[in-house]
Structure formats: C-alpha cells, structure tokens
Amino acid sequence: MSLYIPKQYRAKLVPEVMEQAIKMIKDRFQLELAAALDLRRVTAPLFVLSGTGINDDLNGVERAVSFPIKDMDGRKAEVVHSLAKWKRMKLGAYGIAPGYGLYTDMNAIRADEELDNLHSLYVDQWDWERTITAEDRNLEFLKMIVTKIYGVYQKMEREIYRIYPHITPVLPETIRFIQSEDLLEQYPTLSPRERENEAAKKYGAIFVIGIGGALSDGKKHDGRAPDYDDWTTPTPGGYKGLNGDIIFWNPVLESAFEVSSMGIRVDKTALLRQLELEGCPERKELAFHKALLEDRIPLSIGGGIGQSRACMFLLRCAHIGEVQSSIWPESQIAECEKHNIYLK
C-alpha cells in the first residue's frame, strides 16, 4: 500500500505512555502465546550461512543482506528473512515432542520493502514452531491453532482496554475462515489485496487459507516460498493448501491488516511437489532439504507474528514508525508530521 493518512488523526497515547504500552504488549503477548500453544522460548540467530537453504526466500525474490566472514575465509553470511526452517531444525535438535514447540524473538532486515504505513526495513516478529504428527496435517488442526492465536489477540485487546479505556476493542467474537479460491469467486474483478479488504471489512477478522499456489484464474493470491508452508496438499471441498494469513480490519487505516503468516509445513511429498512447481528442484540437495527428505526434521506447524504490527493495531497507530525505530524517506517523515504522525 502507498502512504495512507487518516483524517484528523491523533495518537491515542502520548510518546512516553506509548513506550510503556509497547513494552507491556511485547512482554505480555509472548507469554500468552506460549501458554496458548505450549511453547518455550529459545534464542535465535540474527544471521545464517549462505548456501545452506536455512534462510527463507519469502516470495522468492527478496535479497538477503549479506556480508563476508573474515575468520572463515570470506564465507558469506546473510541476515535472516525469517526463521521458518531454522525453527523446524531446532524442534528436531531439542527433541521436542508433538503438541509442544518453541518461539523466539526474530529480528530481520528487508532491504527490498516498499516503505509505507505497514512496511519497514526492520522486521521484529515472534517466530514460533510446534511439532505435530502426520495425523495433524489437516485443515481442522490448522483452524484450531489459528483460533488459539486469535484468542491471544482478543486477550491483549481487552487488557489494553482495561489500562487505557479510551482504546475500545474492535475484534469480533470469532475469526472467519475463508479459502483464497472462494475470495476469487466472490470478487472476480478485484485484486487479491482488494478481496482481502472486502472480506476483512465484512467480518472484522479473517484467516485466508491456501496462499502460494495458482488459483482457478491461473494467478496466485500471494507468493510463498516452496520449502516451508504447504500450499499444495488437497483439502476437503476441492481446495488446496494448509497455510494462510490472519488478517484484521484496521479501523484507523480503513483497510485489511495482516498480523500473521503461518501454516502447516511441507512434508517430503509436498516439498518435492512444490520445488518442481516453482522450478527449483535442485534445492533438494541443500542441507535443510536433505535433512527433511531423510526424516531428520520433524513435521511441524509454525508462523510469524509481527511485534510492531501487534503494537500498531492494539494501540490504534496509523504508521508502524510510531512503534518502532527505523529509517524512513525524508519526504514520508515530513508528510506524516503534517498530519500528527510522528515517526521514531
């Protein structure tokens, strides 16, 4: 999205109180998430070695920020995009049983982001991963986990209201599950982003299922790398995909607002199928992919939850730069200041 300026905007909290609220959300949210999903915290890397297949490609085109390591003969390291594969490897390394998992603070740099209300060069997420069984690889299990995460957001919204009663809750009682193919059928003339806007505005909170594969019109709802989320496994009703996005209606920005990308991860069959579909079968020779194909990595479900996005939504901010420090174009800083939006 391009820069959006809400009419007559005023921050709900003054800067010093805003900082206290951000800390409270970041402290409390992770504890609620860990309790809801039976997760334990681990320490995460800021960078990984290039050429191992551990870093994530997101939509497959983003450049990783990289640097040579002097003490390793110039071997290249790259700042993580996310930790989907790394987390799954840690589940195996720690021997975490099905039904339990881990989470971590993930910090990343995404140099190719288009900077606007929602997107920053700096990414801070709670990345989580949970071991599952083969029997858990189904749509109902995915929906159960999504509902638990949604419950955490509802708890946090109520807590914000308790402390700051002028910030009233807006999330509906339940989250609506919608197939990306059904969104296309309902709004065939709209873009994927516009479809999400319509559905989020209608229901308040949605989970769009099946993101990464081509829909009936031959186009993707959105891109996904082929080697972490499963977006090809058939599901009841003739659909495909065991992944999706949690999206809220944002009353400040008057638009759909993605708060989490998540899903059941690929098994061996889905990995090989998706590598072929994306034209990169050679990846199966990389360290992560070989470990998965050799059953040295457990089946899992996982995702990322934006920390700054959570703060931005819960505190009704107009720009992510109100809740995190980053770099912004001078023109954007000036335009925001004209409308009482002050970027850190």
Task: Supply φ then ψ for residue 65, to 5 degrees.
Answer: -75, 125
Closest of 150, 146, 154 to residue 130, by C-alpha: 146
Q: Is 255 known to be catalytic?
A: no
Query: Per the residue annotation, which of 181, 196, 229, 245 is the catalytic one?
Result: 245
Q: How far apart are CA 338 and CA 70, in angstroms?
A: 46
Question: What is the identity of the amino acid at 147?
Answer: T
Nearest Cα to 205, choosing from 246, 148, 155?
Answer: 246
Q: Is 322 a catalytic residue?
A: no
Q: Among 30, 180, 261, 308, which one carries the catalytic annotation?
A: 261
C-alpha to C-alpha distance for 99 and 129, rounded to whole angstroms: 10
Distance (Å, whole) CA 160 – CA 17: 12
Annotated catalytic residue 245: yes
Which of 78, 56, 57, 51 shows the shortest CA–CA distance to 67?
78
If you count them, how many residues does the chain have?
344
Residue type, 194: E
Is 261 annotated in the active site? yes
Cβ proximity of 120 and 321 under 8 Å: yes
Catalytic status, residue 325: no
From the candidates 30, 82, 120, 125, give the one annotated as an active-site residue.
125
Helix (H/G/I), strand (E/B), else coil: 273: helix
- Residue 307: which of 65, 136, 108, 72 has the closest Cα? 108
Q: Which of 50, 159, 258, 332 is catalytic?
A: 258
* Residues near 66 by beta carbon (within 8 Å), at least 6 away in sequence: 50, 76, 77, 78, 79
> What whole-number distance in Å separates Cα of residue 261 and Cα of residue 142?
12
Selected catalytic residue, list 82, 88, 110, 278: 110
Q: Are strands 176-179 and 205-209 parallel, antiparallel or unpaired?
A: parallel
- Whether 159 is a known active-site residue: answer no
Place of tokens 């994530």: 56
Catalytic residues: 56, 110, 125, 245, 258, 261
